[in-house]
Structure 1
């Protein structure tokens, strides 16, 4: 930036939990010491050693020390009590230098810490990508204050990752601390962008109303918001919720409610994307779920980071559990190319709890995590990118966000899952949507995304994995799921031209189909089902909760498909042979029974599974025939979908789909 006019921009400010929410204190302030785990190269490649190290990484390093809620003075100021040392090397207050170094034009940052309290000390630290930390600088207040300490910090050493943060130590008296991170940027980057927030909602008026209030009531966020679009797709309307008037008052004329039929998440987000680019006044469109709690500062940070990226970049927020609020779902997700399956990066961890092991103690959190996509529970997309590469794929739900990330990447626009930006969401671990109606969309959309983006012949391992998973569902007596997966593959063969037409009707059709099967019929009262009875006891009284060895699992995989061709045990036609809890309802366990009561993951109900060898044989034949057809036709089908992509994701195609709800244009 030498020789060019520059201006100073706020990158990040010290923030504290809104509403004194004690559950999330560890995400903002760390009262514990650092206890860094062992380096992976010290552990070595032995599988047992690696397994033990993974267990050790999960062990709590906490001592039980607590921050007092009254120490939080307001949204940006904290009181450190006399003699106390607190660290701001936390998820929301650490500075993720590796991401700024890799993706933005910023070359150095300025940390300004303001202390009110004599004898207090600020210590600036940095970490390397391997998690090792170093002291950078210190300053001690020799007056009551306020006293500002300014540290100019280069980003050069952070090519692979690493963080900056500061600790504050109080002397004999309490000290009040606030801080901000700034940078000098070219004048053409001085003004911040604005964002259209696109929220798709379906029968969650209470969640949605609270979210709108959170967004509307934050004064620091207000200048960044252009419009908040709520795509109303349900019958329980957000406008009818008792909390909605407060949300409407908070947002004023920035709020627009758009009612339409249930077109799924992809249909809702596509509507928001379309409205945003047609309006043309916002720099970004932010995809956000309706059932989240938001840290409003996250949106400010996503916009700020996006403004300063070298190229237009999708900036995602992370997802914490709404029920275990310090637990991070995933730090960065990829589409594994050989399997073509979304997952957490191999060098990452899922369900990481910052309350039990802090940022400074976890090596893996310091390496920059590059991703393929970010979930649309919170993902900022430059409107320039939407105008160039198109809107969401018309696939109802599942894989719309991951496909979009891959599509953007192919056009030269990366995605960053940005530390310090997050929402709290209902955890997916409490569901098993691979078995219900969503299984259709999981499979159909995964294969469509692979047809569009896989770089391996025939999609790599994908087709073999689909076949094996289908057989697993069949031997587990999950016939409704198996039938929906067959329907998914058959619908793919109909071609991309049918995707828009299917959006309003396919969910109803597949639900009606799956309810024809006993395993899809849920019973809230388990006592309404027949009692458990067996022709003879299980072999050697083996428990259904026992975890089999790899050898036993492989043996079951070989024998279970053949066993399905044998006649069902007589008594099993009337009585279930076992009652199996959801956590133990694995295919290799269910395959040994001819009938069973199986509970659901959410704990609210159970279903009666019954083996039927005629159904099994018929579905197996159809499944194997489809597998062979996909192997034969993969290349031609891939060309067909790739050639149609720009058309089916175009604003014009989506406008046609939205016509039943836009021709009257019932907007607020």
Structure 2
């Protein structure tokens, strides 16, 4: 990975990317592979200017669909790489999976020139190559026409003008009798010591036997992927085992000796991934370890592309995939994420958009997608990490779930190893918006681990806005009657104060402890049947008949934020202890609605249950006092806490520390995991 390339050395052609089409011919994902729409580029932000109203209007316009609804018939897909065009039909391959992300190759790899080779059958068919600049403007580069029955065309393309962004792609227009694009390949001449591809250990942590077995089956069915797989580690942490799933025999048959199932206690995502990282490092035979969620649908070609990109990177580089919505499969969660240093919160980069639907607005029309997205980290739903990086910077932080991936990205970045969220490598996953992880038991890990990550990596003496924002959120949860969430967040802060060396010891027990702890409060007691709770009744109707679905203006919101904490000190209204005063859907259960009530039935984001929120002034006073006290302490002790955590980081993320944590499931002195694992599902 650190070889210095000799310009005079022998060079060989290496495949970087090939044209692919959906494996299952799912029409929902066609826009990610082939585009039938025209390109209608949105307005340049410099032309919009800095006026907020103008920017808001432009953002709304960018979100509007430009799609005409043209559809590709599934029968036009002839194979994994071949597509049939109807007579005179025009198709663009300027799409997420088939455009070539030139700026990423230009910035991060040794490649400076690529060759595009397109094979087409059908007299009169035309292939046109385009490129885009970072501002999204497209330029015609070259073209060729099939003279006889078929033609194979090679275009030499430089990467020189892609410093800030830009893509290459090709469009095809069929002749009078139609055409078939048989294949297209992007290749480059590389030094002979970069000719062979690396191998990858896939690390999948699971508590979902059926979903993980189906993922394993999908991976095993991808013949072109097999040469790249060293070992597929499945860290089984659930009560029901993946080896007992009805789908597991097919997975075992497809992956054969490559598959290894490791059984251990529930140590969360960080404990599961750390076990895979440890096994990969100790085994030492794979170039990379790839973290992958168990509840995803994978595009196997993305794994190959990630490995190829990593092989040709200038320096060892973490290569992440993107996440699409499993339920709206053309919708991208985020094109690149950063940790905002002053707030110390993860977010889509500031000049990007989240929840982007390629079926509504294609790649060629979306100006912002052409600027290269530089990131701080990539989520571990799909993330390729070179083994040399794990050996130098350590394994996952022992934090159960949340912030383990982002902290690792920041740690690697500080050591000189960048992360690239790489277009063309992706999985489909349940979107975060369908989960309740900001309020349920996960709120403990969200808050604790965010603080720990900030202590480790914030460039500001007292974490920037971290402590103040924590206080603001705590008061918001209290005013919203979310006492269990507020108590968990308070517990999280107390546990941070215990220091870094307590983290390993409580990995296996903390989840059970916090679940028991939070059930004291009614907002954490979930009911699948709404009729288990009393009906809505109240003495007085809502003031002026106002509806909870109305979103208040800025002035009303500011007034509500000032008054809400004070209102919680008033006595509760008659009947509110016996009957809920209202019923709110998850989408309407915003703080500005919740603060108006003394009790409410609130549905959860996943749509499976409801909870009863009840206002308790005495509890509010007690927890508000504790909240103020602990935030004052954090502000005062932040520098010393940061020193403690930073000095301990190398120790608590070391293979040796993790080996001790895994000892109950490996046998005394056994660090290989063989004693507690199955190979091919056999003990």
Please confirm whether the aligned pair reaches a TM-score higher than 0.5, indicating the same fold.
Answer: yes
Partner of 1:118: 123
Partner of 1:279: 283
**Distance in structure 1 (CA, Å) of the matches to 2:71 and 2:522:** 51
Deviations 1:505-534 (A, max 9, x none): 000000000001011011122122112122
Q: Could you tell me how far 1:457 is from its partner in structure 2?
A: 2.0
Q: What is the aligned counterpart of 2:79 among 74, 83, 86?
A: 74
8 A Cα contact 2:201 2:230, kept in partner: yes
Partner of 1:444: 448
Q: What is the aligned counterpart of 1:15 among 20, 24, 28?
A: 20
Deviations 1:411-450 (A, max 9, x none): 0000000000000001111112110000000000000000
Moved more, 171-180 or 301-310: 171-180
Q: Secondary structure of 1:491's partner?
A: helix
**Distance in structure 2 (CA, Å) of the matches to 1:431 and 1:3:** 55
**Distance in structure 2 (CA, Å) of the matches to 1:602 and 1:216:** 31
Q: Secondary structure of 1:572's partner?
A: coil
Q: Secondary structure of 1:220's partner?
A: helix
Partner of 1:432: 436
8 A Cα contact 2:197 2:308, kept in partner: yes
The question of 1:191 aligning with 2:191 is answered: no
Q: What is the aligned counterpart of 1:666 among 659, 672, 676?
A: 676
Structure 1 stretches of 4+ with a deviation exceeding 3 A read none
**Distance in structure 2 (CA, Å) of the matches to 1:603 and 1:475:** 24
Q: What is the aligned counterpart of 1:409 among 402, 413, 419?
A: 413
Partner of 2:681: none
Q: Could you tell me how far 1:556 is from its partner in structure 2?
A: 1.2
Q: Secondary structure of 1:352's partner?
A: strand
8 A Cα contact 2:260 2:677, kept in partner: yes
For 1:391-402, what aligned pairs fall within 5 Å after superposition? Answer: 391-402=395-406
Q: Secondary structure of 1:18's partner?
A: coil
State the aligned residue count: 666
TM-score, normalisation: structure 1: 0.99
**Distance in structure 1 (CA, Å) of the matches to 2:242 and 2:154:** 47
Partner of 1:221: 225
Partner of 1:527: 531
Q: Could you tell me how far 1:210 is from its partner in structure 2?
A: 1.0
Deviations 1:110-148 (A, max 9, x none): 000111111111000000001000000000110102x11
8 A Cα contact 2:322 2:334, kept in partner: yes
Q: Secondary structure of 2:281's partner?
A: helix
**Distance in structure 1 (CA, Å) of the matches to 2:436 and 2:85:** 44
8 A Cα contact 2:264 2:676, kept in partner: no
The question of 1:108 aligning with 2:86 is answered: no
Partner of 2:376: 372
TM-score, normalisation: structure 2: 0.97
Partner of 1:134: 139
Q: Could you tell me how far 1:468 is from its partner in structure 2?
A: 0.4
The question of 1:518 aligning with 2:528 is answered: no
Q: Could you tell me how far 1:343 is from its partner in structure 2?
A: 0.5
Q: Could you tell me how far 1:535 is from its partner in structure 2?
A: 2.4
Partner of 1:50: 55
Q: Secondary structure of 2:459's partner?
A: coil
For structure 1, the residue ranges without an aligned partner over 5 or more in a row are: none
Q: Secondary structure of 1:571's partner?
A: coil
For structure 2, the residue ranges without an aligned partner over 5 or more in a row are: 1-5, 679-683
Q: Secondary structure of 1:459's partner?
A: coil
**Distance in structure 1 (CA, Å) of the matches to 2:597 and 2:24:** 52
**Distance in structure 1 (CA, Å) of the matches to 2:561 and 2:45:** 34
Q: Secondary structure of 1:149's partner?
A: strand
Q: Secondary structure of 1:509's partner?
A: helix
The question of 1:200 aligning with 2:193 is answered: no
For 1:85-104, what aligned pairs fall within 5 Å after superposition? Answer: 85-104=90-109
Q: Secondary structure of 2:618's partner?
A: helix
For 1:206-605, what aligned pairs fall within 5 Å after superposition? Answer: 206-605=210-609
Q: Secondary structure of 2:274's partner?
A: helix
**Distance in structure 1 (CA, Å) of the matches to 2:119 and 2:360:** 29
Deviations 1:274-325 (A, max 9, x none): 0001000000000000000000000000000000000100000000011000
Deviations 1:450-478 (A, max 9, x none): 00000012100111110000000001110
Q: Could you tell me how far 1:570 is from its partner in structure 2?
A: 2.0
